[in-house]
Amino acid sequence: MISEKDKTQFQELGYFVTDVVIERDQLQSMTNEMDRLYREGVEEAKTTGDPKVILAAEGRRSYGQVHNRSQVAAEFVKSEIYLEACDAFIGPNADLYWNQAAIKPPKLGKTFSWHQDSGYTETIPLAYITCWTAISNSNLDNGCIWVLPGSHEWGVLEHENEEPNQQVYGGLRAKSLDDSGAIPVEMKAGQVAIFSSLTLHMSGPNTSQNSTRRGYVPQYHVPDVILKKTGQPIGDQFPVLRNGRRIN
């Protein structure tokens, strides 16, 4: 599924996009699980009776550590495309480092500003891979991701805190950034954008009328990765590959 051309583009530009590599039944299973998490979050918020809490739940950006909340996700993170990416860019031994379900409802989905995944947490070793998977079609209208090709060569940039508002989710964003070379990454359901944790990326708002953008984002790293600033283990530490073989 990953060609030599893909590997070369990853090394040169910091990302590539696969063909459709996830089967329809797998996509439907993940759609059901993501919708369940979203629905449960909204229902829980409604019990508070607070309109602000309910609105926040309806527009919530992501749900982390999905493999601990869904057996479907725990199997999905070991999909063939992910294991092949691990073997190609990490090595024969790899762990799930982090994973999240990223949901952008119509009209409520906001911009998620430019950042590097390594800008949030610097690890030793530093670089890992992100596998941004289109569970539903992802396009400009419903808030697809954008990347800055070649930005993985810039090292870890300084990030600053961004306060949330009606246009952006808030959180960390890269400072002093020229994004004139940015390109949108529109994907059909079942395609995967695989990029370095040093590659700058963002996503736009969902301005569509009725298209929920669903993305599932597993990230993979070497086993026993540690957080640079503390020297302590970090991440999901969920083994997926050992000696080039899938962990069952």
Q: What is the CATH number of the domain that holds 157?
A: 2.60.120.620
E-state strands within the chain: 15-17, 62-64, 94-104, 112-115, 123-124, 129-134, 145-147, 159-162, 171-174, 183-185, 192-196, 201-203, 213-221, 226-227, 238-242, 245-246
**61 pLDDT tier (thresholds 50, 70, 90):** confident
Question: Is the Cβ–Cβ distance between 237 and 141 less than 8 Å?
Answer: no
Indicate if the alpha-carbon torsion angle 3, 6, 8, 11 is positive or negative.
negative
Nearest Cα residue to 214 out of 145, 164, 113 = 145
Overall domain count for the chain: 1
Rounded (10°) CA dihedral 28, 29, 33, 36: 60
Q: Tell me what the mean pLDDT of segment 15-40 comes to.
A: 96
Q: How many CB atoms lie within 10 A of CB 235?
A: 21
Q: Provide the pLDDT confidence category of residue 44 given band limits of 50, 70 and 90.
A: very high
Cα 2 versus chain centre, distance: 19
Nearest Cα neighbor of 83 from 196, 241, 238, 215 is 241
Look at phi and psi of residue 205 and say left if phi exceeds 0, alpha if psi is from -120 to 50, else beta: beta
Rounded CA separation 219/240 (Å): 11
Strand order in the sheet with 145-147: 112-115, 201-203, 145-147, 183-185
Mean pLDDT of the chain: 96
pLDDT, tens only, 195-235: 999 999 999 999 999 999 999 999 999 999 999 999 999 99
| Tens digits of residue pLDDT in 176-202 | 889 999 999 999 999 999 999 999 999
Cα separation, 68 vs 46, in Å, equals: 24
d(CA 70, CA 73): 5
* Residue 186 belongs to domain spanning: 4-246
pTM surpassing 0.85? yes
